[in-house]
Amino acid sequence: MEDLKVKSNQAHLSKSLLDIMKTNISEYFMFIALIVIMIFFTITTDGVFISSRNISNLINQMGYIAVLAVGMTLIIVIRHIELSVGYLAGFLGAFSAIALTFWGWPIYAVIPAVMILGILAGLLTATPVAKLGVPAFVSTMAAGLIFRGALLLVTMGTGTIVIRDPVFNAIGNGYIPDIPLGGFLPGKHKLTLIIGLIGIILSILSAIKSRRTKLSYNFQVPSFGLFIAQLVLISGLIGYISWILSGYNGISWSLVILLLVVAVFQFITTKTPLGRHIYAVGGNPEAAELSGISVSKITYIVFAAMGLLSSLSGIMYASRLRSATTTAGLGFETDAIAAAFVGGVSAAGGVGTITGSIIGALVMMSLTSGMNLMNIDISIQYIVRGAVLVLAVVFDRITRRNQ
Amino acid sequence: METPILEMKSITKEFPGVKALDNVTFSVRKGEVHCLVGENGAGKSTLMKVLSGVHAFGTYTGDIFVEGELQKFNGIRDSERAGIAIIYQELALIPELSVYENIFLGNEVSNGIVIDSNESISQAIDILKKVGLDVNPLTKIKNLGVGKQQLVEIAKALKKEVRILILDEPTAALNETDSDNLLQLIRGLKEQGVTCILISHKLREVMEIADTITVLRDGKTVTTLDVEADKVNEPVLIKHMVGRSIDNIFPKRENVNIGEEVLRLEDWSAFSYALGRDILKNVNISVHAGEIVGIAGLMGSGRTELAKSIFGNPDHYRLSGKVFIHGKEQKFRSPHDAIKSSMAYVTEDRKGNGLILIDDVKHNISLANLKEITTGGVINENEEILIANKYRSELNIKTPTIQQKVRNLSGGNQQKVSLGKWLFVKPGIMILDEPTRGIDVGAKYEIYTIMNSLVEQGMSIIMISSELPEVLGMSDRIYVMSAGKINGEMPVEDASQEGIMALAVDY
Ligand SMILES: Nc1ncnc2c1ncn2[C@@H]1O[C@H](COP(=O)(O)OP(=O)(O)OP(=O)(O)O)[C@@H](O)[C@H]1O
Ligand SMILES: [Mg+2]
């Protein structure tokens, strides 16, 4: 026994940065791939790709898919699939438009109402799955047809509904205000820089606190040098992104929503019992049930979350287009599923992270944006994106199997 | 001396953080039954996986010779070609396919395009005869008992020319009768010239069947013994395995102090929609504080179903009758309710429904009692590490770290993780379903000691077991089940193996 302990401590001590990278290769790989892709496009577009304006646009375009990808990750983690989210988002976007323009509802009533509708739709779709074990594939495909019909129905009389509410339209197109600091750093969005700075400080403080607690438990922590290196890397990353964004209009409201969604879901999945339960259900539903976790309750919760996120996605999209169209939401689910898989989710269940899927969404969106800048034909774009998707998943399988 | 049929020389195999095999030498004579024994995690299964090509050439160091010829197996197909067949610790049959389809899975008899079912079936009948299994080859696997499934596995292995048959804990899930049949079959194969390598934790059967025994400990060969020449007996074997002698496998409890009734079932019956029949019929049992109640019976007699039906009925049987916990009637709607009433259920099938294999040791241990380490809605992961390490050392779980995926642990150590998980719930009533299946003697002793100390502190244990010596050695009172009914109840003083068996087979 003693022997074993000593051995395991040595194993810990001898862990170098390389070892850590090796064991978590599938997690780091996509991040590295993302950076490679970004550098590639930066070079091929003479730096246009990494320009403040393009990055800002890229993020705003990605927002409504990324929030779906967050929910889709959890859906796939619990071994299901959600094919109705695209049309649900489209329908809820149209609903917002109608409530705002025809019924004259104020925006602060419309948004909560749409969010509640989204949750209810998610619960409804989940019912056959959770109650009777109907495959989610069927249940959500059926729901998708219904939402599509509903979308056509409500937009039938009017066709495209134009939204004139400036606050609503700011969600997808607006940016956080700046603070007047006179001639200091002209052309830069000051508040964005300040928020970036706060972000850096907070992440350093929380890293130090977590290290302290670990030490107080007498646990192994990475060496001081490695710790500093990690801090520098993270701070540099946040700093660089804020710097780029500050060069255009600063942080957009889309990004604010996305960051909030990611923060909340990242917290839930990694820090709370609910998160653990979700992964347990995905890893082995029977064992989870026997451990006192209600599989059907978790199924309802995850589908409801997906519904909620679909409503956000619908709002962001309608706002971005300043209108509701009859084809809104078309194919969103495919993009969200692709982002999740590129980000390392496993269809076998129990594996996949929120941050991974966000990176997946960034990879897919960078490809689109970069190829658009290079004037590559849409046909080739589809082929490239398909190839990247399958390559990512194949690589993921191989690295996992080798472990 | 004639060349051994198999020689493995200086085999070393490492996994990240674990040296599973350390310079192991293993030699098997032609036509013998060679048993491989050792503690959980000693490296037995790994050695056999190296031999069968699951761990391909190049992922280990050392040499394998079959009849003097150096072999480089890159996969299971290669070793099959060399006449080596392996039957794994876990059954690998497809439940929805028929017996004959399973036998020929991957080697279908066909004319190149279409499967020739008639030919397959007739060949299957011959092979089934060889293993002494009298079933219709068209029966689906899921409709066979485990004992028969195990025989189908062997039939599957024997369909080709086999020189060396490896069986990794084939009797772990079998009852005495089925085990005896299997041993008989191995003797028969030996007569036909097949060399058998058998891994088992059941030392009695090892003593019964082995010509030679090799003991592994911590990835090293401790010794190879000739059963007759070296006059091997169980205590000697145990000493080699665990490095110390264990006088009494079943430790005696210091003070037996049986208190008031904590659980009672009245006319408890269950109907399974899935099977379309009654699986429990008017069961009446009671369990007291500080008591170990053994439940004996054959495989399929309804013992696991009884446990599940009490423990919140996750399989949704239609139930009738009453459960009383501490004298109060309870209607559990889910395992969650049962856990809240301080019950725990350590399942028989740890892979199927006991553990999250893709998750690590610490998350598995904390899973059923996360609330204990949650403050303000957030899991305290540092506390979780402390707790996992506590159970790791208390139960002597062999793992490089508690961050190891449970899938990578040896079978016995997985069982210990499962036990640790439920000990952490700190239950008042604990149902243990085959608690020592696949566990080595040393660890068995540890688990029995833990059980004793738990009941001494007033806990109640219901122990379902197919191993009669264990039932007799550990229980205070014994129920015998057969075909969903309680066929008898007796204090341990009045019980005997023969008596229990007679009740168990009396439908
Ligand atoms: N794929 C793997 N990855 C990492 N470690 C492994 C892997 N397979 C086995 N091990 C480790 O190798 C050691 C030997 O395991 P092995 O399964 O051979 O034990 P065993 O003797 O068969 O035990 P048991 O009696 O419990 O079945 C154990 O410490 C186990 O955790
Ligand atoms: Mg084994």
pLDDT in tens, A109-143: 999 999 999 999 999 999 999 999 999 999 999 99
Closest CB from A219, A294, A403 relative to B336: A294
- CB neighbourhood size of B351 (10 A): 17
- Give the per-residue pLDDT at B411: 81
Q: Flag if A276 and B367 touch (Cβ within 8 Å).
A: yes
Q: Flag if B401 and A214 touch (Cβ within 8 Å).
A: no
For residues B25 and A213, what is the distance between their CA atoms, to the nearest angstrom? 47
Alpha helices in A78-135 (DSSP H): 85-101, 107-132
- Give the per-residue pLDDT at A3: 41
- Predicted confidence (pLDDT) per residue in A53-85, tens digit: 999 999 999 999 999 999 999 999 999 999 999
Distance B244 CA to ligand 1 centre (A): 22
Mean pLDDT of A219-232: 88
- Give the per-residue pLDDT at B412: 83
Please tell me the distance in Å from A369's CA to the nearest CA on chain B: 36
- Give the per-residue pLDDT at A183: 74
In terms of CA atoms, which chain A residue is nearest residue B309?
A290
- Predicted confidence (pLDDT) per residue in A168-214, tens digit: 999 999 999 988 877 778 888 999 999 999 999 999 999 999 899 88
Average pLDDT score, chain A: 90
- Give the per-residue pLDDT at B348: 85
CA-nearest of B417, B30, B50 to B219 is B50
Question: Taking chain B (507 residues) in consecutive chunks of 10 residues, what is each chunk's mean pLDDT?
Answer: 88 90 94 93 93 92 93 90 85 84 82 81 88 87 83 86 90 81 90 93 92 94 91 89 83 87 96 90 96 90 94 94 94 95 90 90 96 94 94 90 92 90 94 90 88 93 92 95 94 92 84
Structure-token pair, residue B109 = 């008899």
Whether B56 has its CB under 8 Å from any CB of chain A: the answer is no
CB B159 within 8 A of CB B85: no
Q: Which atom of ligand 1 is nearest to the CA of B409?
A: 31
- Give the per-residue pLDDT at B247: 77
In terms of CA atoms, which chain A residue is nearest residue B370?
A273
Q: Which atom of ligand 1 is nearest to the CA of B412?
A: 26
For residues B380 and B394, what is the distance between their CA atoms, to the nearest angstrom? 21
- Give the per-residue pLDDT at B197: 96
- CB neighbourhood size of B318 (10 A): 11
Please tell me the distance in Å from B401's CA to the nearest CA on chain A: 6
According to CATH, where is 3.40.50.300 located in chain B?
Answer: 6-242, 259-342+427-507
Closest CB from B345, B356, B379 relative to A350: B356
Per-residue pLDDT band for A7 (boundaries 50, 70, 90) equals very low
Q: Flag if A283 and B359 touch (Cβ within 8 Å).
A: yes
- In the predicted structure, residue A12 carries a pLDDT above the cut 80: no
For residues A335 and B288, what is the distance between their CA atoms, to the nearest angstrom? 59
Dump strand ranges (E) for B30-186.
Answer: 33-38, 61-66, 69-71, 84-87, 164-168
Sequence ranges of the domains in chain A: 42-174+293-402
- Give the per-residue pLDDT at B76: 86
- Give the per-residue pLDDT at A18: 58
Fold classification of B259-342+427-507 is Rossmann fold (3.40.50)
Mean pLDDT of A351-367: 94
For residues B386 and B372, what is the distance between their CA atoms, to the nearest angstrom? 13
Distance B88 CA to ligand 2 centre (A): 9
- CB neighbourhood size of A242 (10 A): 23
Domain B6-242 CATH superfamily:
P-loop containing nucleotide triphosphate hydrolases (3.40.50.300)
- Give the per-residue pLDDT at A166: 94
In terms of CA atoms, which chain A residue is nearest residue B332?
A292
Q: Flag if B352 and A286 touch (Cβ within 8 Å).
A: yes
- Predicted confidence (pLDDT) per residue in A274-314, tens digit: 999 999 999 999 999 999 999 999 999 999 999 999 999 99
Size of interface A-B (CB pairs under 8 A): 96
Where does ligand 1 bind, in terms of residues with CB under 6 Å? B 15, 18, 20, 38, 40-46, 89, 398, 408-413, 440
- In the predicted structure, residue A25 carries a pLDDT above the cut 70: no
**Chain A positions in Cβ-Cβ contact with residue B353 (cut-off 8 Å):** 284, 286-287, 289-290
Whether B422 has its CB under 8 Å from any CB of chain A: the answer is no
Distance A77 CA to ligand 2 centre (A): 30
- Give the per-residue pLDDT at A397: 81
- Give the per-residue pLDDT at B112: 75
